[in-house]
C-alpha cells in the first residue's frame, strides 16, 4: 500500500502477536448590525472584504489561482510550463489590479457595492438559496487562506494585521496548512491544495528538536493528515489532483506524513501509567511532562487522541497504536469518577486524578465528546463507551445543570471544588460543543424524525433532545448578548441561591428581543477579562449537528447570522483575512491580530457543512474528530477489539474495591 519506514516505537517484529496481526492485516483487504456595514475591526475593512465577496461579475479573477514553483521535483511538460508562465503573468496583473494599482477611484467603486450581498437579495419570505450562502463561506475561506499564503506562507502562526508569521518549531509544523487541507478539499480548491501538497512534500519534516503539545499536535496535525487521506482516497472527486500535481507523490503523501508524526507522538504514552505526557520532543521520540500543574496532563488532552490513533491503526494494521490509546481510557475509568464526571487533571506517573475541579470547558470538554465518538467510530460495537457517555450525561444533569434568572435559560456550570462544592454558573465557549454532541448521541447521526420511528426511541432520548435544544439556545444567546454578535470566551449567568435543580420548571423565551433593556439580557453576564472572541467553532458545530438532526431551519439561520457577524467585525484591512478579537463587546471591536488555525479547520468548515446538502459527509457514516476532521466509521474486524473491562460498580456507581 505505501512505503512506510519501520516505526521507532513498535514492539519486536518477531513476536507471535505481531505475526498474527500481520497475517490478519494481509488477509483483511483493508489496505442587522450587518446591514450598517460600519464599525468593523479597522476602517475600510469591509472594502477589502467586499472586493472578495462582491458578485462574481465584478470580481477580479483571483479565485483558485494556479501556482508554479521552481522547486517542484517533478518535471512538467513544456507546454504546461509555458501555460503556467502565462498564467503567472495574468494573475500577477489581476493581483495588482486588486490592490488598487490600476483600478482608478477604488474607494467610490467599493463604497457603491459595499456588502451588496448582505441581505439585499434576500427579501423576507423569499426562499433562501443556501448554496449561494455557502459560496460566501468559500469566499471567506479564500480570503483568509490567500492572505496567509501571501504574507506568512509556511509559518505556523499568522498575524493578519501585522501581516507577519511566526514559527512554532525551527522549520515549521505546517500548523495552518495541514489543519486546512480537508476544508479545501470539501470546497474544491484544487490549486490551493496543490500548493499545500508541494509544501508537505518538499518542506515539511517532523524531525525537529522541538517539544510540541501531544494533544494539539494529534488533533490538528495527525487528524488533519488522516482526514486528508480519507477524503482524497474515498472521495476522489473532491478537489481532484491533476496529473501534473505539484508535489504529487501519490495518495500516500498524507498517510506517510501522518505515520511519521504518529510514531513520534506515541512516545508520549510511555509513562508509568500509560497516561500520555503533555508534550513530546519530536526528534527524540520522547515524552515530556507538563512544566506546570505538578507534571499532570489535562484529562481532556489525554482522552482526546483515541479517534486519531485508532483510525491510523485501522489504516496501517498496527495494533500498537490502538492499544496505547485505549489503555488511557482504562486508566482514567479505573479512578472510579463519581457519576462519570472526571476532574480536569491526571498524573502520567500514577494515573490518578489531580484536583477535584470538574467542568465541560477547558481541560474537560472533549473527554466527554470522545466517549460517544469512540462508540460511533467502531460502528456502535464498543458498548463500554456508550455506557460511560450515558453515565456522564446523567452526571451532568445531576450536578452541573441549572437555570438562569429571570428568564430560565439552561446553564451547564462547573464544580471547581468537586461535586460537593458550589456550582459556578460559568460557561466557557468551549462547552458549546455539548448540545450538538448530545443530539448526535441520541440519534447516532440519523435525523430525529428517522430515529423516532425506531423501537429504541424512549423518554430518555426525548429528554436528551430537549436538553440539546435548550443548551443550543443558551449558546446562541451568548452571541446575541454581545455588541458584535460574536460570543465571549466565557459567559456567566445569574442563578438562584441555591441553584435550581435540573428538574425545575423552566421556559425561556424562544426569541432574543433586540431591545437593549429586554429581560433576557439580565440572565447573561460577561466579565471584562473574558470579552475576547477567538473565532471558536463550538457553537456553529452544535448548530451544524442540530440542523442535520432536527432539520429545524432556525439553526441554519443562526449560523448565517453568526457568519455575517464574523465577516462584518473580524475582517482585516488590506486583504489580511480575518482575526481574533480582544474585545468583541464593543463597536468597533478591538482586534487581537491572530488567526487561529481552527477558524479554517473548524469554524468555516462547519459553516460550509451547515449550508450544504445533508448528504455531504452524512452524520451516520463519518465521525468528526474534535478539530472537525472527518474520519470514516469502520468495523473493528478480527484485529481490533475493546481490550478492557470496567471495574465492577455498586448500585451507586462506586467501584467495588
Nearest approach, Cβ of 179 to ligand DMJ (angstroms)?
9
What phi-psi label fits residue 501: left (phi over 0), alpha (psi between -120 and 50 degrees) or beta? beta
Task: Give the helix/strand (H/E) hosting 624.
Answer: strand 622-624
Burial 594-614 (b: 16+ CB within 10 A, else e): bbbbbbbbbbbbbbbbbbbee
Interatomic CA distance for residues 166 and 205, integer angstroms = 17
> Total binding residues for ligand DMJ by CB under 6 A?
8
DSSP label at 410?
Answer: E
Nearest approach, Cβ of 211 to ligand DMJ (angstroms)?
18
Chain center to CA of 514 = 30
Nearest approach, Cβ of 602 to ligand DMJ (angstroms)?
6
- Which residue, 264 or 536, is less far from ligand DMJ as judged by CB? 536
The answer to the question of residue 629 lying near ligand DMJ (CB under 6 A) is: no
Interatomic CA distance for residues 186 and 617, integer angstroms = 10
Interatomic CA distance for residues 601 and 180, integer angstroms = 5
Nearest approach, Cβ of 371 to ligand DMJ (angstroms)?
14
Going by C-beta distance under 8 Å and a sequence separation of 6 or more, which residues neighbour residue 6? 13
Candidate residues 627, 630, 639, 640; the one interacting with ligand DMJ per rule CB under 6 A: 627
The answer to the question of residue 598 lying near ligand DMJ (CB under 6 A) is: yes
- Which residue, 146 or 365, is less far from ligand DMJ as judged by CB? 365
- Which residue, 548 or 629, is less far from ligand DMJ as judged by CB? 629
- Which residue, 573 or 602, is less far from ligand DMJ as judged by CB? 602
Residues 602-621 that bind ligand DMJ (CB under 6 A): 602
The answer to the question of residue 536 lying near ligand DMJ (CB under 6 A) is: yes
Q: Is 539:562 a contact under the CB 8 Å cutoff? A: yes
- Which residue, 191 or 535, is less far from ligand DMJ as judged by CB? 535
Candidate residues 210, 232, 366, 410; the one interacting with ligand DMJ per rule CB under 6 A: 366
Interatomic CA distance for residues 194 and 64, integer angstroms = 10
Distances (CA, A) of 485 to 183, 420, 476, 593: 25, 36, 9, 19
What are the residue ranges of helices labelled H in 266-412?
299-302, 306-316, 319-333, 365-377, 383-399
Interatomic CA distance for residues 344 and 331, integer angstroms = 14
Cα-atom radius of gyration of the chain, to the nearest Å?
A: 25
Catalytic residue among 489, 538, 541, 602: 489
DSSP label at 411?
Answer: E
Looking at beta carbons, which residue is closest to ligand DMJ?
A: 626
- Which residue, 443 or 539, is less far from ligand DMJ as judged by CB? 539
Instruction: List, as own/partner pairs, every contact residues 443-449 make where C-beta atoms lie below 8 angstroms and the sequence separation is at least 24, other chains included.
Output: 443/549, 444/376, 444/380, 444/620, 445/376, 445/549, 445/618, 445/619, 445/620, 445/621, 446/549, 446/619, 446/620, 447/548, 447/549, 447/550, 447/551, 448/549, 448/550, 448/551, 449/551
538 tagged catalytic: no
3-state helix, strand, coil in the chain (%, to 5): 45, 10, 45
Task: Give the helix/strand (H/E) hosting 228.
Answer: helix 223-234
Nearest approach, Cβ of 597 to ligand DMJ (angstroms)?
8
Residues 10-39 that bind ligand DMJ (CB under 6 A): none
Nearest approach, Cβ of 377 to ligand DMJ (angstroms)?
16
Strands 297-298 and 345-346: antiparallel
The answer to the question of residue 556 lying near ligand DMJ (CB under 6 A) is: no
Nearest approach, Cβ of 159 to ligand DMJ (angstroms)?
19
User: What grid cell was written down for 134?
Assistant: 455557502
Nearest approach, Cβ of 308 to ligand DMJ (angstroms)?
12
The answer to the question of residue 592 lying near ligand DMJ (CB under 6 A) is: no
- Residue 415, strand partner residues: 358
Nearest approach, Cβ of 626 to ligand DMJ (angstroms)?
4
Task: Give the helix/strand (H/E) hosting 546.
Answer: helix 538-550
- Which residue, 253 or 372, is less far from ligand DMJ as judged by CB? 372
User: What grid cell was written down for 322?
Assistant: 490502538
Nearest approach, Cβ of 537 to ligand DMJ (angstroms)?
6
- Which residue, 45 or 226, is less far from ligand DMJ as judged by CB? 226
Residues 406-445 that bind ligand DMJ (CB under 6 A): 430
- Which residue, 98 or 158, is less far from ligand DMJ as judged by CB? 158
- Which residue, 25 or 158, is less far from ligand DMJ as judged by CB? 158
Nearest approach, Cβ of 219 to ligand DMJ (angstroms)?
6
The answer to the question of residue 52 lying near ligand DMJ (CB under 6 A) is: no
Cα–Cα nearest to 231, from 626, 606, 617, 633: 617
- Which residue, 40 or 537, is less far from ligand DMJ as judged by CB? 537
Candidate residues 341, 626, 629, 630; the one interacting with ligand DMJ per rule CB under 6 A: 626
Burial 631-653 (b: 16+ CB within 10 A, else e): bbbbebeebbebeeeeeeeeeee
The answer to the question of residue 537 lying near ligand DMJ (CB under 6 A) is: yes
Catalytic machinery residues = 489
Q: Interface residues with ligand DMJ (CB under 6 A)? A: 366, 430, 536-537, 598, 602, 626-627
Amino acid at each position: 500500500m505505501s512505503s512506510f519506514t519501520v516505526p521507532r516505537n513498535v514492539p519486536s517484529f518477531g513476536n507471535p502477536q505481531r505475526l498474527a496481526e500481520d497475517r490478519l492485516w494481509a488477509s483483511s483487504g483493508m489496505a442587522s448590525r450587518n446591514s450598517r456595514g460600519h464599525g468593523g475591526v479597522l476602517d475600510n475593512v469591509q472594502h477589502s472584504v467586499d472586493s472578495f465577496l462582491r458578485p462574481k461579475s465584478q470580481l477580479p479573477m483571483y479565485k483558485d489561482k494556479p501556482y508554479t514553483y521552481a522547486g517542484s521535483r517533478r518535471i512538467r511538460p513544456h507546454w504546461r510550463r509555458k501555460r503556467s508562465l502565462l498564467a503567472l503573468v495574468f494573475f500577477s496583473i489581476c493581483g495588482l489590479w486588486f490592490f488598487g494599482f490600476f483600478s482608478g477611484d477604488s474607494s467610490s467603486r467599493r463604497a457603491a457595492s459595499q456588502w451588496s450581498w448582505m441581505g439585499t437579495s434576500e427579501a423576507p419570505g423569499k426562499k433562501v438559496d443556501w448554496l449561494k450562502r455557502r459560496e460566501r463561506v468559500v469566499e471567506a475561506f479564500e480570503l483568509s487562506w490567500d492572505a496567509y499564503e501571501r504574507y506568512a506562507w509556511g509559518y505556523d502562526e499568522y498575524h493578519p494585521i501585522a501581516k507577519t508569521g511566526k514559527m512554532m518549531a525551527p522549520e515549521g509544523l505546517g500548523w495552518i496548512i495541514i489543519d486546512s487541507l480537508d476544508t479545501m478539499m470539501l470546497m474544491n480548491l484544487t490549486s490551493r491544495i496543490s500548493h499545500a501538497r508541494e509544501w508537505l512534500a518538499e518542506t515539511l519534516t517532523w524531525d525537529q528538536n522541538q517539544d510540541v503539545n501531544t494533544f494539539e499536535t494529534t488533533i490538528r496535525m495527525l487528524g488533519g493528515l488522516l482526514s486528508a487521506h480519507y477524503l482524497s482516497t474515498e472521495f476522489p472527486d473532491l478537489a481532484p489532483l491533476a496529473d501534473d500535481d505539484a508535489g504529487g507523490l501519490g495518495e500516500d503523501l498524507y498517510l506517510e506524513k501522518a505515520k511519521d508524526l504518529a510514531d513520534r507522538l506515541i512516545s508520549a504514552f510511555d509513562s508509568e501509567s500509560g497516561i500520555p505526557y503533555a508534550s513530546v520532543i519530536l526528534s527524540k521520540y520522547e515524552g515530556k511532562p507538563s512544566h506546570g500543574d505538578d507534571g499532570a496532563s489535562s484529562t481532556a488532552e489525554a482522552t482526546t487522541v483515541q479517534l486519531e490513533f485508532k483510525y491510523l491503526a485501522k489504516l496501517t494494521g498496527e495494533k500498537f497504536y490502538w492499544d496505547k490509546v485505549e489503555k488511557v481510557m482504562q486508566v482514567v475509568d479505573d479512578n472510579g469518577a463519581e457519576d462519570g464526571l472526571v476532574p480536569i487533571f491526571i498524573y502520567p506517573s500514577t494515573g490518578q486524578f489531580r484536583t477535584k475541579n470538574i467542568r465541560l470547558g477547558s481541560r474537560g470538554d472533549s473527554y466527554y465528546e470522545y466517549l460517544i465518538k469512540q462508540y460511533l467510530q467502531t460502528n456502535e460495537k464498543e458498548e463500554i463507551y456508550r455506557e460511560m457517555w450515558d453515565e456522564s450525561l446523567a452526571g451532568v444533569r445531576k450536578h452541573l445543570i441549572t437555570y438562569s434568572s429571570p428568564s430560565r435559560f439552561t446553564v451547564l456550570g462547573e464544580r471547581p471544588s468537586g461535586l460537593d462544592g458550589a456550582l459556578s454558573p460559568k460557561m466557557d465557549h468551549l462547552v458549546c460543543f455539548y448540545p450538538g454532541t448530545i443530539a448526535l448521541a441520541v440519534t447516532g447521526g440519523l435525523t430525529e424524525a428517522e430515529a423516532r420511528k425506531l423501537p429504541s426511541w424512549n423518554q430518555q432520548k426525548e429528554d436528551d433532545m430537549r436538553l440539546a435544544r435548550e443548551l443550543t439556545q443558551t449558546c446562541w444567546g451568548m452571541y446575541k448578548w454581545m455588541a458584535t454578535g460574536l460570543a465571549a470566551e466565557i459567559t456567566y449567568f445569574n442563578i438562584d441561591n441555591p441553584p435550581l435543580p435540573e428538574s425545575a420548571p423552566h421556559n425561556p423565551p424562544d426569541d432574543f428581543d433586540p431591545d437593549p433593556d429586554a429581560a433576557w439580557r439580565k440572565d447573561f453576564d460577561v466579565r471584562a477579562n473574558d470579552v475576547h472572541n477567538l473565532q471558536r467553532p463550538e457553537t456553529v458545530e452544535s448548530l451544524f449537528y442540530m440542523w442535520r438532526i432536527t432539520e429545524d431551519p432556525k439553526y441554519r439561520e443562526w449560523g448565517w447570522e453568526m457568519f455575517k457577524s464574523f465577516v462584518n467585525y473580524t475582517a482585516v484591512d488590506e486583504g489580511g483575512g480575518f482575526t481574533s478579537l480582544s474585545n468583541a463587546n464593543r463597536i468597533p471591536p478591538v482586534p487581537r491580530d491572530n488567526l487561529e488555525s481552527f477558524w479554517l479547520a473548524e469554524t468555516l468548515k462547519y459553516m460550509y457543512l451547515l449550508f450544504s446538502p445533508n448528504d455531504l459527509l452524512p452524520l451516520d457514516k463519518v465521525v468528526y474528530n474534535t478539530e472537525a476532521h472527518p474520519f470514516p466509521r469502520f468495523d473493528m474486524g478480527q484485529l481490533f477489539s475493546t481490550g478492557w473491562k470496567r471495574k465492577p460498580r455498586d448500585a451507586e456507581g462506586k467501584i467495588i474495591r
